[in-house]
Amino acid sequence: MLNGICLLTAIPMRKTKSDRSEMINQILFGETFKIKQVDKKWSYIQLNHDKYEGWIDNKQYHVIKDLNLQYKISNKKQANLKIKTVSQPLILGSLIPVNEKLKKTLHISENLSFCTMHPFKTWFVKIAKKYLNSPYLWGGRTPMGIDCSGYTQMVFRFFNIQLPRDAYQQANIGDKIHDLKDVKLGDLAFFETNNTITHVGIILRKNKIIHASGKVRIDRLDKNGIYNTTLNTHTHKLKFIKRII
């Protein structure tokens, strides 16, 4: 089975092999994957970090041999990346492979930090707030557009914690917290529509949550769910809270 790497800023993963198909995910610079099927214009791939699968354009990736790459993580909303003589943006959460062959062709304009260098208590809120006001985008995982579970997945990446891609998958891990009085920074709150998990956000403190809804924003959290003070109404019904850390 072939392996691939994304060397563009971010590329779309499609539900079916068509440019008009729904974007179900994004692959960021440096992320690697297994190539399970190759057609004339499209490849069906499985991401290595979360096993998510979908179709990507054959013109938007490179085939590689080594999947066991060490990497640095981009801690800036945007930095400049130069591949040979061509510059392109490098966005928050991208992975910079530490590989001798790649190091000869990559040049990063700003210092980047290893994700394991970020102590949770002092950095978690800072990292979470880097995405504030990022517009909501179904399937998105970047500051230019991100969905609710893409947001939680990206924030936890900085602390070497790999969450599944979708909210319903994230709801299956961690330990359940039964009382709002017991929540801690970094707990995940899950919300339902007709008894189905449809939304997730990160608890900042007992009555505050940061989540992607319209944009990445901070709202009030109570036993009923998320209360939007702009709309003066509850927008999401609380299902349960899970502790990941």
- Domain extents in the chain: 2-108, 118-243
Catalytic entry in 6, 115, 118, 148: 148
Distances (CA, A) of 30 to 4, 61, 118, 171: 10, 10, 20, 27
Cα-based angle 202, 148, 199 (whole degrees, multiple of 5): 80
Among the four given CATH numbers 1.10.10.410, 2.60.40.650, 3.90.1720.10, 3.30.450.20, the one describing domain 118-243: 3.90.1720.10
Joined tokens for residue 36: 């399970």
Distances (CA, A) of 166 to 76, 84, 147, 196: 24, 36, 9, 12
Report the pLDDT value the prediction gives residue 26, as an integer from 0 to 100.
99
Contact 158, 118 (CB under 8 A): yes
Per-residue pLDDT of the chain (245 residues; tens, 9 = 90+): 899 999 999 999 999 999 999 999 999 999 999 999 999 999 999 999 999 999 999 999 999 987 777 788 888 777 777 777 778 888 999 998 776 666 666 766 655 554 555 678 889 999 999 999 999 999 999 999 999 999 999 999 999 899 999 999 999 999 999 999 999 999 999 999 999 999 999 999 889 999 999 999 999 999 999 999 999 999 999 999 999 98
Active site residue 148: yes
CATH superfamily, region 2-108: SH3 Domains (2.30.30.40)
Residue 139 three-state SS: coil
Catalytic entry in 6, 115, 199, 236: 199
Active site residue 178: no
Joined tokens for residue 81: 């990346």
Q: Which residues of 24-54 are buried (b: 16+ CB within 10 A; e: fewer)?
A: bbbbbbbbbbbbeeeeeebbbbebbbbebbb
Contact 201, 189 (CB under 8 A): yes
Sole residue written with tokens 């039964």: 178
